Amino acid sequence: MVRRGYECVGRAGNIRRYVADRIGVIIIASIPISSKLPSRRSKNEFYRYYAGYPLDFAEWALSELNLSPGALVIDPWNGSATTAAACARFGASFQGYDINPVMVHLGRARVASSVDFEEAEEIINAVDEIVAKSRIVSIQMVGSAFRELPVSNESAHSVAIAALFPYARALLNVRKTKNPSWFRRNTTFDGMSINKDEIFSSWKILLREVSLWRGTQEDTNGVAISIERGDSRKSLGRKDAFDGMLTSPPYLTRLDYVQATLPEFLLLKEFDAVPNMQRLRRSMLGSPLTSERPSRSLERLPADIRKVLGRIESHGSKASASYYHRFFSTYFVDLQASMRNIAKVLKGGSLRLHGRSI
């Protein structure tokens, strides 16, 4: 029997229930552990991801899956790698994908080994030596020095980059608002002068903070944890590769997940290769930057969802027939494509538990 856990509420829950029923899923009506992040950051929480869920929820969910020894779990929307951290503690192998390169580096840092952290510190020291003659540096200068170093350990490379993410956010002086993706226009590091000793001192302090946040057990006993950049609507691996899935799809809330990581993305742009940001924003599942989907794609959606889209299109409020119909249509078409890909890589009879997406 295939199972996916949901906490179903109201009409949104009915839509999820229909989608689940279409692929042979039993829905768990209630979850004993909250899947919502607490309002306050925990002591060792290095990075607060708006759309994340708590580690104790992920650990409980994995225990509910009753996975066999040597099981392989997938999360096609990896985010801040909570599922990966839970798998590392649980002793299950894991493959995570995220389309946003910022979250890929952050996720790798969360499950890196102590050796990876030692090598990350060596990378930071090497960058410091390259710019040693300068008392004042810029993010661009530090990033250029970082790029001079060969990548011999991908995880250590990601750890070193991710450790500097909070510094980038603080440097841009981002003001908190109710909308977590709001940033001032033309935000940039251009023209910023930074004391060299201050940035490298902060970098090493933040590296230690990441090490307290990480979820890896040193004795892995053959457990493999991998996080790569990937699109849930495209190939996620070979057929029947995974024993289970724990994930939370992007919310249907018009939240711009890429824009929400703008400071980190701008930093990463100086330190590593990144895709075009506007194209990346448009390609995200649930992106508020929408484009039309072919009518044949809409015709493939379940009848209940087509009915909801029809009601949105005929609603009298402003932009219902244009922007909002296009936005909701895009989300469901892309979600359906993702679910089809996921179904291909999950073994028959595998167990899946999902968080809320609507």
Q: What is the pLDDT of residues 108-163, one digit of tens each?
A: 999 999 999 999 999 999 999 999 999 999 999 999 999 999 999 999 999 999 99
Quote the pLDDT of residue 15: 40
Token pair belonging to 71: 């099981």
Residues 6+ apart with CB under 8 A from 118: none
Q: What are the CB-based long-range contacts (under 8 Å, 24+) for 143-150?
A: 143/267, 143/269, 143/270, 143/271, 144/270, 146/270, 146/271, 147/271, 147/272, 149/123
Question: What average pLDDT does range 187-209 have in this prediction?
Answer: 95
295-312 average pLDDT score? 92
Residue 54: its pLDDT value, please?
A: 86
Residue 93 has pLDDT above 50, yes or no: yes
What mean pLDDT is reported for the chain?
A: 85
More confident residue, 252 or 354: 252
CB-side exposure of 230: number of CA atoms within 13 Å?
Answer: 20
Least confident among 15-19, 181-185, 293-297: 15-19
Q: Return the minimum-mean-pLDDT range out of 13-22, 30-39, 195-204, 270-279.
A: 13-22
Residue 43 above 60 pLDDT? no
* Most confident range, picked from 35-44, 145-154, 179-188: 145-154
- Return the closest-CA partner of residue 304 out of 346, 336, 342: 336
Three-class SS state of 334:
helix
Residue 38 pLDDT > 70? no
- The DSSP result for 25-39, as a single string, is -EEES--SS--SPPS
Question: What's the confidence (pLDDT) of residue 17?
Answer: 45
pLDDT exceeds 70 at position 219 = no
Residue by residue, DSSP assigns 157-169 as: HHHHHHHTHHHHH
Residue 326 has pLDDT above 60, yes or no: yes
pLDDT band of 221, cuts 50, 70, 90: confident
Query: Quick one: pLDDT at residue 18?
Result: 42
Number of Cα atoms under 13 Å in the Cβ half of residue 113: 12
Query: What pLDDT shows up at residue 245?
Result: 93
Contact between residue 134 and residue 141 where contact means Cβ atoms under 8 Å apart: yes
Q: Are 293 and 337 spatial neighbours (Cβ–Cβ below 8 Å)?
A: no
215: left (phi over 0), alpha (psi -120 to 50) or beta: alpha
pLDDT at 65: 85
CB 320 within 8 A of CB 212: no
For 16-32, b/e burial (b = at least 16 CB within 10 A) is bbebbeeeebebbeebe
Half-sphere exposure of 239 (CA within 13 A, CB side): 1
pLDDT score, position 9: 31
What is the Cα Rg of the chain in Å?
Answer: 21
8 A C-beta contact, residue 167 and residue 218: no
- Concatenating the DSSP letter of every residue in 201-221 gives HHHHHHHHHHHHH----S--T
pTM over 0.85: yes
Backbone angles phi, psi at 155, to 5 degrees: -65, -45
